[in-house]
């Protein structure tokens, strides 16, 4: 199982950055999680990895914000795509997907593939879904912005097994004790307290940017 960061606020040499997030999950099926803020950056970075839209079978959108849905035009070039979105997404976003791919609206937890589960809709001020990915090392939790709160997301993900890693945007999360016992922490995109997390968990913390790859 491999995760490739396609879009992030920071980028490794040779990749482009923008305010947004996208990650490719390479397993028995290729699944794209979020699309960043623009087709331009997503397509450029995907090309650097040698990834084309038709190599991806499924799309999961964490929440209906521009910095996670802005690259939709790139992935929707694949008209055999299955797209999993929350039922509370805007009609505008759902219509755009429906015209180009198979739209699957979800509310509760659901299997995306045999290896990947959605937490289903979690809410605070904003509805969002995260992913729990089964790997040989344990569950990898993949988040978009963690608007419902990372603590709530981690609690929900624990039903799928022991959490090995958490990767993605943590937003304003500062319930740092919730990260205890997690072996890999890669805070990206919108994380506001990244420095504190790194100082508290120096061994577990991994720098992450567009172009970063993880293997589990």
Q: How many domains does the chain have?
A: 1
Per-residue pLDDT of the chain (216 residues; tens, 9 = 90+): 999 999 999 999 999 999 999 999 999 999 999 999 999 999 999 999 999 999 999 999 999 999 999 999 999 999 899 999 999 999 999 999 999 999 999 999 999 999 999 999 999 889 999 999 999 999 999 999 999 999 999 999 999 999 999 999 999 999 999 999 999 999 999 999 999 999 999 999 999 999 999 999
Residue 133: predicted pLDDT? 98
Contacts with 48 (C-beta within 8 Å, 6 or more apart), sequence order:
14, 15, 211
Residue 170: predicted pLDDT? 98
Answer whether 0.85 is exceeded by the pTM.
yes
Q: Which residues constitute the domain of residue 22?
A: 2-215
Query: How far is 198 from 206, CA to CA, in rounded Å?
Result: 8
Query: How far is 81 from 99, CA to CA, in rounded Å?
Result: 11
Nearest CA among 187, 211, 209 for reference residue 199? 187
Residue 38: predicted pLDDT? 98
> What distances in angstroms separate CA 86 from CA 66, 70, 72, 99, 108, one per listed residue?
15, 17, 16, 17, 9
For residue 13, what is the domain's CATH number? 3.60.15.10
Please say whether the beta carbons of 103 and 94 come within 8 A.
yes
Query: How far is 33 from 11, CA to CA, in rounded Å?
Result: 18
Q: How many residues are recorded in the chain?
A: 216
Residue 125: predicted pLDDT? 87
């Amino acid at each position: 199982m491999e995760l490739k960061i396609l879009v992030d606020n920071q980028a490794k040499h040779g990749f482009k950055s923008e305010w947004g997030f996208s990650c490719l999950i390479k397993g028995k099926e290729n699944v794209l999680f979020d699309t960043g803020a623009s087709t331009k950056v997503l397509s450029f970075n995907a090309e650097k990895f040698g990834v084309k839209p038709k190599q991806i079978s499924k799309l999961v959108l964490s929440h209906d914000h521009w910095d996670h849905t802005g690259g939709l035009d790139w992935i929707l070039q694949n008209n055999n795509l299955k797209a999993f979105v929350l039922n509370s997404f805007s009609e505008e976003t759902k219509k755009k997907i429906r015209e180009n791919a198979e739209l699957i609206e979800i509310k509760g937890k659901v299997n995306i593939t045999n290896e990947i589960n959605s937490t289903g809709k979690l809410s605070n001020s904003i509805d969002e879904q995260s992913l729990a990915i089964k790997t040989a090392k344990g569950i990898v939790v993949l988040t978009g912005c963690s608007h419902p709160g990372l603590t709530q997301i981690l609690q929900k993900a624990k039903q799928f097994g022991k959490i090995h890693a958490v990767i993605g945007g943590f937003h304003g999360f500062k319930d740092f004790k919730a990260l205890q016992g997690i072996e890999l922490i890669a805070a990206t995109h919108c994380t506001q307290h990244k420095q504190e997390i790194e100082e508290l968990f120096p061994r577990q913390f991994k720098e992450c940017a567009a172009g970063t790859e993880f293997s589990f």
